[in-house]
Every structure is written in structure tokens, then in C-alpha cells.
Amino acid sequence: MTLLTPTPPTSATQEQDAARAHRPAAGTTTRSLLAQGVRQLPEAVRKLDPRHLWRSPVMFLVLAGSVVTTGAAVRDPGFFTISIAVWLWLTVVFGNLAEAVAEGRGKAQAASLRAARTDTVARRLAADGSESPVPATHLAVGDLVVVEAGDVVPGDGDIVEGIASVDESAITGESAPVIREAGGDRSAVTGGTRVLSDRIVVRITAAAGETFLDKMIALVEGTSRRRTPNEVALSILLSSLTLVFLAAVATLAPMAAYSGAPQDVVVLVALLVCLIPTTIGALLSAIGIAGMDRLVRVNVLAMSGRAVEAAGDVSTLLLDKTGTITYGNRRANRFVAAPGVDQDELRDTARLSSLADQTPEGRSVVDLALSQGADDADLPAGAEFVEFTAQTRMSGVDLADGTQVRKGAGSAIATWLGTQQPDEVCEVVDSISRGGGTPLVIGRKDARGAGQVLGVIHLKDVVKEGMAERFAELRAMGIRTVMVTGDNALTAQAIAAEAGVDDVIAEATPEDKMAYIHREQEGGRLVAMTGDGTNDAPALAAADVGVAMNSGTAAAKEAGNMVDLDSDPTKLIDIVEIGKQLLITRGALTTFSIANDVAKYFAIIPAMFVAAHPSLDRLNVMGLATPQSAILSAVVFNALVIVALIPLALRGVRFRAASATSVLRRNILVFGLGGVVVPFVGIKLIDLVVSTVPGLGS
């Protein structure tokens, strides 16, 4: 019986297009942000509910001020009072809009993920080997289900029998199928993916409602998001500043009355709203949501906001050598001809011996030979390929004319030929081995059995392009890189030197990784690492940022606090950059928000007391038209600057690899100084417009 789905089948192209819906384009134009803002306006208005706003004391106080000024406008309607009330309400709405736009992106991604989820009927396997149809929602942890070509995997699990090609585009957005097989570190399959070939038996590891797809939906939708420790700490700071300014304004009222310049409640509320950090208070939640969203856009799911923040503070990166720093397979790097052998002859013979060798090493020999000018011809007719075995430690080809070609370990080739290798060849073999490479000797016998050593193929782990430069950038940020490998110390040191990592753990065991992580953490450093196997689970759980590969085991994904859907170990570097961008963005906008108060002080304080104390007009450095236009201009700017900063909060401040001192200096110069200058210009421009209104001008 085949797996059943109630939804009609769609073409592969349609499925891939739907799957990519949760991976928005990296760039966000002003027009698209404006469209998102318009769509989310109703949601921003709904968020005016005090039960929602009380979690942000700053915006809750602005809401209370809006209510007070509205009451004053009802009692004594006037253009100034009504305008202040309207702009205070808009300040709250604009603050809600930033959060609504950030959440709206997640909800759109969640909707596309729900569309990828189908109700399936699983083929549950009984103890006697019989199969019975069961709704996927009724599966329990530990159940065995059979999945064949064309079927949808009914739930998260590990393959316990078989091997299959699986389409994971519904989860990762990538159309290329992947191989999943029983045993090893690539046995996990995710509910909602489709098996393209063969037959597998899957043991269910997650109950209905707790699958990986369910977690993805909850995470991108924001329903499971909790405020991070740094976010909570900043909220406490903003609340403290708000209380200080509230106390200052409250005591200002009797002092103003005593000095002969009593202030209306509307003016006092306007002063309070302009002095408290409304800008960062309005954008704080959106910054956190957008940080999670940026991770989703690079196909990484963070199981907690704490992990994103920790990524920004990471000081040590543990990176697996294979697949992260190197390509994962040894590649032919060069041909070294034996004395008296032509280089082209060695090249052509090496290519011939590898034509039928479908291993990555064999294909790399052919690629290297072709890049050096070898003919692109197939195996001659009648040729027979000799496969590699552990006993012979050789592979090669037997030609129809009786010629035999072998490549393999030097000692094996010497035994096969029945002759000693030339001293020059032995020196090359030893040199390659000392450098951490793998030497393959090429030997040939003619039809009469006469043998000859032709030369050596140098196989090596090839470091990925640009890795040394990326590690240099991380070093500039004060992050230490550590390569983890099971290779011997000699090979590990050679690769580490070429890649430019700071340290290496050779012949690493799970205990070695754990011990290293604990030593770093005891020194006050935060550690990040990647892994995909069950043996990586303890270290992933111990690391401050543990990035599990989606292709890995269920144990690894449960232990980590992030999951890379693309199973690309180098993504760890991107995660660190996104974490730092989140922290930098939050710090930059906090600096800008607090610096804003300087200009607002020069706008509002002189306007409040200039009638009773004309000498205060000297503080009107912006030359604002009237006290009322000055106060209204400051309130209008306070609202509009939130809208202007929403794109920056969602996109994040541009990240540049630099030391903490350089980042702090840039933050102060750009956002601190900018936070002082921009309001002076903005309030003055708004005043030029506001002062044209009858009754507010000079």
C-alpha cells in the first residue's frame, strides 16, 4: 500500500517554488518595506492593547500620555492640543508597526511552511513484519514506518534500514536531492520531505506536533520567541531612564508654577515623551525578531534568542576540518615523474588508471590530468578496470594489448612490480607524507611483464578558497579559530598552517572536544562549534553555540541550539557575523536614541519658559518660530524618526570585521554624533512647515 495524501499532486517545479517561499531575497527595497508597512498597519493598531504594551514600559508610558492628551483635547479643543494628541498616538502606532512588520515576515514564512506540510497516512511496521495504514498524527515515538519512492516521510525519524535519495526542498529550499542511509551520521529524515528512490524503514523520533517542521513554524512565526538576557537587561535600563525622566518632569511642574511659568499638562506630557528613549523602546523588539529572521534567511534555525546573542559574543570557534576547512575529499594536487619518465607520459598514464575509478580521488586525478592538457578520451576497447581492495592496496586498469597500469601505496606497487623504487621516488613519497599529503605511486607492466615506476601522484586535503581570509577577519574581531580533526598531528598541522587557523586538535575524540570547550569556558570565553553525529552531541550541548547539521542525527539536532538546514559547516562563520550584527544594531540605535535628547532639550525647555524668562531665548539655537511650534516639531520628529529607522532595525547595521574598540569608536562617531545632529536638522525642517499654520507661527 502506498502513502496517501489528500492534496492533489503538484509538479516538481511548483513544489520547489513553494518550498523556496520561506527564503526571501536577501535585499529589501524601500518600496517593499513600505508595502509591508501598509499591510501591517491594522496589526499595529491592534497592538495598541495595553495588555500588549505593558511589556514595554517606555511605549506603555507613551500610550498613557496619549490618553491624557486626548482627554485634554476633548476638554479644550485646539489645533496645538489636538496635534500633540494625534502625534503621540502615531508614535505608539509607529512603534507597534516596527514589531508588526518584523513579525509579518515570520508569519509569511510560517504560512509557506504550513503549505508544505501535508496530512499523510503512514505504513506502520508491526513486529511480525506486516504493515498497517495509520494517520501520521497517530504515530508515537519508536514506531517503525516504511517509506518508498514517491512517498512523503510521515514524521521525523532515523533510518534503521535501507538507503534512499530524498527531496528536502520543502525544508531547505534546495532542489538537489540528498542521500540518506541507515547508520552513520546521515540517517536522519524530516517529516514532510519526499523519498525519490528505493525503500527505507524509519524509526519515529518525534511525536505529532513536536516535529522539526512544527518547531520551524513556531520559530519563524515568533510564537516561541522569548526575550534574550541582553534584551531584558536593556529593557531594564530603558525603564530606569524612563522613571528618572518621569520623576524629573513630575517635579518640574510645581517648580514651573513657583517660578511664574505654569505648564499645561499637554506640554509636560510632550516633554516627557520626547525625553524618554522612545526610539529604541519602539524598535527593541523588532531588532530581536529581525535578528532571528536574518538567520532564517540563511537557512539556519535558532532554537533560542540566547543562542543568537551568544553567537555575537563568541570568542572561540571549533570547526571540523573535513567539509568545513577542506573540501572533505583528498584531491590530486600534482604529478611528480620518476627519473627518465616524461611528464606527459606520467600524466596520461595516471589519467588512464583513473578513468573507471569513480571515487572522489580518482575523479580528481582525471581532472588534474585534463587541466594539464591530457586527451579527453574514454577507456580503450577491451580494457578492464581493477578495483581497489584492502589486500592489494592498489587499483588500475588492464589493457587489451597486455599492458597493466596500477596506482597505490609505494610498497604495494614495489611488490607488484618486483623491483625497488628509485631513490628519487622514495624521497618524493617521504616528502609528501611529511607534509600531511598522501602519495600514490604509478607503476606499469608491459605485455612481457617488464615493470617500471612512472612517478607519484600527490593527493592532499584541499583547503577551500577564501578560508584563510575569513579566518583573518575573525582574528581581527578577536575570535580564535580551532580546527578539530581525527587526522594525525603531522597532517593536521600541515592543513592548519595552510588554512591559517590559530590552533588544532588532532586525533580528536568526543572527550577531547568536551575538555577543550570546558577549558575555554572556564577562562570566561564563549565557544561555538558544529557537528552532525551522535558522538558530537555532548560537545554541541556543552558549547554556548552548538550548530547541528540538518543532515545529521536526531541526537545532534536535539543537543544543539541551532540547526543549519543546508548542512554547511562553514555557516558557523555567517552565524557569528549575524550575531554580532544584532548586538551592534541594538547598541547603535540605543546610542542614537539617547543622543536625540540633546536636540529635544534645546527645542522644548526654552519654549516652555521663554515667556517668563526671555533670556532663555538664547538657548533657541535652532531659531524655532514659536514655543508651540517648537514643542509640536519635537513631538512630530520623535514619531517620524521611528518610521525612518525601521528599515535599519530590520536590515541591521552593516557589519565590518573590526576590534571592539573600533566598533565602539564608529558607534559613537556615527550614531552618537548623528543622534545629536540629525534631530537639530529634522526639528528645524518640521518647524518651517508647522510655523506656517495659523496660530502657531510667529
Binding site: residue ranges?
357, 361, 388-395, 407, 532, 536
Contact, 218 vs 566, CB < 8 A? no
β-sheet bridge partners, residue 484: 320, 505
Contact, 294 vs 25, CB < 8 A? no
Contact, 66 vs 92, CB < 8 A? yes
Contact, 365 vs 332, CB < 8 A? yes
- 48 phi/psi in degrees, rounded to 5: -70, -5
* C-alpha cell read off for 665: 569608536
**Of residues 473, 486, 186, the one with CA closest to residue 322:** 486
Q: Is 205 exposed, middle or buried (0-12, 13-18, 19+ CB in 10 A)?
A: buried
Helix (H) / strand (E) element for 179: namely strand 178-181
Q: In whole angstroms, what is the distance from residue 456 CA to residue 438 CA?
A: 10
Dihedral, CA atoms, 271, 275, 276, 281, nearest 10 degrees? 110
Q: Known catalytic residues?
A: 320
**Of residues 496, 450, 461, the one with CA closest to residue 361:** 461
Residues of the binding site for ATP: 357, 361, 388-395, 407
Output DSSP code: residue 172: H
Write a three-state SS string for 475-519: HHCCCEEEEECCCCHHHHHHHHHHHCCCEEECCCCHHHHHHHHHH
CB atoms within 10 A of CB 267: 23
- Beta-strand ranges (E) seen in 57-172 are 121-125, 131-135, 144-148, 157-161, 163-167
136-141: long-range contacts, CB 8 A cutoff, minimum separation 24: 136/191, 136/208, 137/208, 138/208, 139/204, 139/207, 139/208, 140/204, 140/207, 141/204, 141/205, 141/206, 141/207
Cβ-proximal residues to 618 (8 Å cutoff; 6+ apart), any chain = none
Dihedral, CA atoms, 523, 527, 532, 534, nearest 10 degrees? 30
Residues of the binding site for Mg(2+): 532, 536
Q: In whole angstroms, what is the distance from residue 352 CA to residue 378 CA?
A: 8
